[in-house]
Chains A and B, each alone.
Chain A
Amino acid sequence: MIVELGHFALTLAFAVALVQMVVPMIGAHRRDAGLMAIARPAALMQFVLIAMAFGALLFAYLTSDFSVKVVAENSHTTKPLIYKISGVWGNHEGSMVLWVFILSLYGALVALFGRNLPDGLRARVLAVQASIGVAFLGFILFTSNPFVRLDPAPFEGQGLNPLLQDPALAFHPPFLYAGYVGLSMAFSFAIAALIEGRVDASWARWVRPWTLGAWTALTVGIAMGSWWAYYTLGWGGFWFWDPVENASLMPWLVATALLHSAIVAEKRGALKSWTILLAIFAFSLSLVGTFLVRSGVLNSVHAFATDPSRGVVILCILVFFIGGALILYGWRAPVLKAEGLFAPLSREGALMLNNLLLAAAAAAVFIGTLYPLFLDAIGGPKITVGPPFFNMTFAPLMVPLLCLVPLGPLLKWKRSDLVAATERLMGAGVAVIVVMLIVLAVKTHGPWLAALGMGLAAWLVAGAFFELAWRLGLFSVPLAESFRRARRLPRASWGMAMAHGGLGIVVAGIVGMTAWRQELVTALKIGESAELAGYTLTLEQVGMRQGPNYEALVGVIDVKRGGRDLGLMLPEKRRFPVEKQEKTEAAIRTNGFSDLYIVIGDDNGQGAWTLRAYENSLAPWIWAGAIIMAAGGVVSLTDRRYRVGAPARARSRLAAQPAE
């Protein structure tokens, strides 16, 4: 009964979403408080109903109810509990349910905590949010229904793709979706504001936390995906410019831009129209991401759906929301009044430059990702756009952006003084030079570009540090005073410093990994040793191990460095009999500065085993940095202060005009 109740709850949610889409919108138009008031209970109810549907699906997975088709196709009784849970979204149908579940969660949060929003805006936001819900619920019910039953039911399921049976990948989709769908809030707010024809500070204040939350979740999701790729795909790469990765990178870039432009919109009332456009693009790219990943256009582990009719429906949803939003924007944007003039050299100016660079970078990724698909679709030649393209386009846009990151927070609103800002970064400049000299001294044979890269990383980290130091008066006032200031410093400032510093750590990790990684490919007999980057690897033994739903070939490798025994490493090659697939499980040993990464391969037929080992310099920093960035987002989110920028007026105008 529970499964069928879940199915019914989902259809009920669809009907409720229809009401929520239509009635409050009419209410807002007619300024009928009664009709508008329907939005809140409807949003809450929609959430409860979809939660029930999701719960029913989870229940079916947990009890291995193979009379449910998706369970039979994607689960197995021997699968460990965690993968029974993650199996819910490890397939097309279930992942769509997760998608609307998160969507309805956000809607419910607006309904619960949006009391201080103007009634009309809240009603319109919830109505737009519901329209997205209607589209996706309809898509789920009519083309990808997870509650399709099998009768008679098979007694055993077909198992889950072993590549997806992994802790990082199990919880990668919920984070990614929390990010994608979180951007739907910014979108709904943007559309509501366009319909209303008004963007004010309360609008911007509301958009920011949603965008920040979405951005944080997206950062974690992307980091998890990249970490998974690092330790699973067997050769220690962390980013492949794979279209599926790009699909998550594009919304992240635009969300980052949106995050910054929303600050300007909130604090200074400027860049409103641009902020709205970014909100539309951010969610549009999330939808494109969903489309790319789900439609089967991209052949990858993620492409669950290979049914072309689904692709057509997704395409229609895409055209409706993106096209509709842009038309609405073209029609209504001129109505939005621009306020808050500013000089080019000001915080606003810096944030605008940041936006332009991020938008250009997103465009570069977009072209690199979609051009081959487009060319293929119109019958052109099949081409692949690989890392060289992205290195040529993405990197040149990122480098100036990264150079400017520490400068931005030191500029004043409206009008600033570059000299004053650079003076405050003297310390960071010194740090950069020291780091570059150290790098050149230690890695004498290394590529000289690496020294510049590490300098850039140091610039970001030290820039974040000295910005904080300046705010706290760390070197100019007594320590007790600094401490007092630190306690009063808004959380958002801490969050920003963490995010910018974390970015520097990511850059350091990427540079280290790209410039200095060492590789060893060899075949060892039992008892033989090989050397890599000062480590001595000895193959002690090779044996079989029985896992819960796989059997693994395990290499036992003793690691020594400078005569000191560092213990054993156990790379595995797992075979999943139910799914008839194999998966390598690298053994990774980290000391915080570099990873030793070992993969075991096949028996080469002469009694030796193929081993591949890498020493990945600074690799752990990539993910540590990303986590610090996300933590910065969380810290920032806890800052609920209303914000207002204190403009620095040009001295000459101070006497002449009290206000513009």
Chain B
Amino acid sequence: MALYRDQLAEVERDLERGVIEPAEAESARVEVSRRLLAAADAQEKSAGAGRQVLSRKAVAGAIVVAVPVLSLVIYLGLGSPGLPDQPFAARMAAPVSQLPIDALVLRVEEHLKADPKDLRGWEVLGPAYIRQQRYQDAANAWDQAIALGGETALRLAARGEAEVFAANGVVVPTAREDFTKAVALDPHEPRAQYYLGIAEIEDGKKGAAIARWKALIASAPQDAPWRPSIEGELARLENPNAPGPDASQIGAAADMSPEARQKMIEGMVGGLAARLDKAPNDIDGWLRLIRAYGVLGKKPEAEAALAKARKTFAGDAAATARLDDAENSLPK
């Protein structure tokens, strides 16, 4: 109703302003009045028809109870009421000793952004990245450390190792260069010697690897932490029939995180598989590969390797028998 009255006033204003002509204004007035009457009619009809059956107090009471109860039920079902906020800044403000490695890495990164010339920071970051499986980042961190502090056997070996991990365990040429330089600086650098040996195995120079590792063990202190693992590998290299790289032996492996170790094993296995693809006529190699796949829980790969080996040694009864044994000893 109010609207139509306003519209009528509007018509008058328009007329006054000369926006519309008198004849137009007249007909507009008639039309609005007609609508106004209709609206008044409708209002009359609807007035007095209202009824009130529900008690307002009852409705209000029901709402006041139902809303909190319903929302609380849903919230308790979906929410985590006991979990406080964990804003980033507050978590980082905790004492260093309580911070997990991820947080420490962030802190060091933050620090290095402000002061990228801090050699110590990069040296801390390198191994931490390896723990986080950020191998390429680790290699980059060692790049920085070498750029700032110069080449040392330890830094070179660490960078090479990061590169090996980044390449899924393959001793890539750049890594090999690093290891070679490292042993030139310090022939007793164990990691460099170890990976150079791996590289030689990848090249098919088993003898050279054996000699290298033997020399390394001979010159090492009796209590070197990496000693048992390299001795195990050496034993396997000298006697291929010995059990393959099984989890317990590798478990003694040096100061590596489980993930890194897994990665290393997979890399070694990959290298073996690649070599067998090129030179398949090596029954011991095949058996080792099949066993390794078995231990790693890679059944399809183990079976594929088994099939390939059977094909290679199709006419060789002795070899086939050994392959049968290997198949039977695979974990089901």
A residues near B, CB below 8 A? 1-4, 7-8, 11-12, 14-16, 18-19, 23, 30-35, 38, 60, 63-67, 77, 116, 141-142, 145, 147, 149, 151, 153-156, 198, 200-202, 205, 269, 339-340, 485, 488, 641-649, 654, 658-659
Interface residues in B3-31 (C-beta closer than 8 Å to A): 3-4, 6-7, 10-11, 14, 17, 19-20, 23-25, 27-28, 30-31
Given A30-B53, A205-B3, A647-B27, verify A63-B88 contact (CB < 8 Å): yes
Q: How far is the CA of A648 from the CA of B22 in the complex (A)?
A: 11
Q: Kindly provide the distance from the CB of A409 to the nearest chain B CB, expressed in whole angstroms.
A: 14
Q: Does B279 sit within 8 A of A, measured CB to CB?
A: no
Given A7-B78, A8-B71, A156-B106, verify A149-B83 contact (CB < 8 Å): yes
Is there an interface contact between B35 and A14, defined as CB atoms closer than 8 Å?
A: no
Given A14-B74, A63-B85, verify A644-B32 contact (CB < 8 Å): yes
Is there an interface contact between B27 and A659, defined as CB atoms closer than 8 Å?
A: yes
From B30, B63, B85, A658 is in contact (CB under 8 Å) with: B30
Q: How far is the CA of A340 from the CA of B35 in the complex (A)?
A: 11
Residues of A within 8 A of B59 (CB): 23, 34-35, 38
Is there an interface contact between B24 and A646, defined as CB atoms closer than 8 Å?
A: yes
| Apart from the given pairs A38-B59, A66-B88, A647-B28, 9 other A-B contacts in the complex at a CB distance below 8 Å | A11-B71, A11-B75, A15-B66, A34-B56, A200-B35, A205-B3, A644-B7, A649-B27, A654-B23
Is there an interface contact between A141 and B78, defined as CB atoms closer than 8 Å?
A: yes
Q: How far is the CA of A659 from the CA of B49 in the complex (A)?
A: 33
From A33, A201, A647, B4 is in contact (CB under 8 Å) with: A201
Q: Kindly provide the distance from the CB of B199 to the nearest chain A CB, expressed in whole angstroms.
A: 29
Q: How far is the CA of A239 from the CA of B17 in the complex (A)?
A: 45
Residues of A within 8 A of B103 (CB): 155
Q: How far is the CA of A110 from the CA of B68 in the complex (A)?
A: 25
B137's closest neighbor in chain A, by CB? Answer: A577
Residues of A within 8 A of B102 (CB): 154-156
From A12, A339, A643, A658, B67 is in contact (CB under 8 Å) with: A12
From B19, B39, B75, A7 is in contact (CB under 8 Å) with: B75
Is there an interface contact between A65 and B88, defined as CB atoms closer than 8 Å?
A: yes
Is there an interface contact between A8 and B79, defined as CB atoms closer than 8 Å?
A: yes
From A32, A149, A155, A488, B52 is in contact (CB under 8 Å) with: A32
Residues of A within 8 A of B106 (CB): 77, 155-156
Residues of A within 8 A of B63 (CB): 19, 23, 38
Residues of B within 8 A of A16 (CB): 67
Is there an interface contact between B79 and A7, defined as CB atoms closer than 8 Å?
A: yes
Is there an interface contact between A200 and B88, defined as CB atoms closer than 8 Å?
A: no
Residues of A within 8 A of B7 (CB): 201, 642-644
Q: How far is the CA of A523 from the CA of B78 in the complex (A)?
A: 57
Is there an interface contact between B39 and A30, defined as CB atoms closer than 8 Å?
A: no
Q: Does B84 sit within 8 A of A, measured CB to CB?
A: yes
Q: Does B95 sit within 8 A of A, measured CB to CB?
A: no
B38's closest neighbor in chain A, by CB? Answer: A200
Given A31-B51, A645-B28, verify A60-B78 contact (CB < 8 Å): no
A-B contact pairs, 23 of them (CB 8 A): A4-B83, A8-B71, A12-B68, A23-B63, A30-B54, A31-B49, A33-B50, A38-B59, A64-B87, A64-B88, A116-B3, A141-B74, A151-B80, A151-B83, A155-B88, A155-B91, A155-B100, A201-B3, A339-B35, A340-B31, A644-B7, A644-B28, A646-B20
Is there an interface contact between B39 and A19, defined as CB atoms closer than 8 Å?
A: no
Given A77-B106, A644-B32, verify A63-B71 contact (CB < 8 Å): no
Given A155-B100, A644-B7, verify A1-B71 contact (CB < 8 Å): no
Residues of A within 8 A of B3 (CB): 116, 201-202, 205, 642
Is there an interface contact between A647 and B81, defined as CB atoms closer than 8 Å?
A: no
User: Which interface residue of A38, A151, A643, A647 has the most chain B CB atoms within 10 A?
Assistant: A647
Q: How far is the CA of A200 from the CA of B32 in the complex (A)?
A: 12
Q: Does B89 sit within 8 A of A, measured CB to CB?
A: yes
Q: How far is the CA of A658 from the CA of B52 in the complex (A)?
A: 45
Given A19-B63, A153-B86, verify A200-B39 contact (CB < 8 Å): yes
Q: How far is the CA of A31 from the CA of B45 in the complex (A)?
A: 13
Is there an interface contact between A14 and B71, defined as CB atoms closer than 8 Å?
A: yes
Residues of B within 8 A of A147 (CB): 78-79
Q: Does B120 sit within 8 A of A, measured CB to CB?
A: no
Residues of B within 8 A of A142 (CB): 78
Residues of A within 8 A of B66 (CB): 15, 19
Q: Kindly provide the distance from the CB of A189 to the nearest chain B CB, expressed in whole angstroms.
A: 15
Q: How far is the CA of A198 from the CA of B46 in the complex (A)?
A: 13
Is there an interface contact between A32 and B50, defined as CB atoms closer than 8 Å?
A: yes
Residues of A within 8 A of B2 (CB): 116
Q: How far is the CA of A393 from the CA of B31 in the complex (A)?
A: 41
B88's closest neighbor in chain A, by CB? Answer: A64
Question: Interface digits, B189-211 against A, CB 8 Å rule (1 contact, 0 not)?
Answer: 00000000000000000000000
Q: Kindly provide the distance from the CB of A37 to the nearest chain B CB, expressed in whole angstroms.
A: 10
Q: How far is the CA of A641 from the CA of B86 in the complex (A)?
A: 52
Q: Kindly provide the distance from the CB of A38 to the nearest chain B CB, expressed in whole angstroms.
A: 7
Residues of B within 8 A of A485 (CB): 17
Q: Kindly provide the distance from the CB of A339 to the nearest chain B CB, expressed in whole angstroms.
A: 8
Is there an interface contact between A642 and B10, defined as CB atoms closer than 8 Å?
A: yes
Given A154-B102, A654-B23, verify A644-B11 contact (CB < 8 Å): yes
Q: Kindly provide the distance from the CB of A356 to the nearest chain B CB, expressed in whole angstroms.
A: 26
Q: Kindly provide the distance from the CB of B88 to the nearest chain A CB, expressed in whole angstroms.
A: 4
Residues of A within 8 A of B54 (CB): 30, 32, 35
Q: Kindly provide the distance from the CB of B73 to the nearest chain A CB, expressed in whole angstroms.
A: 9
Q: How far is the CA of A262 from the CA of B307 in the complex (A)?
A: 76
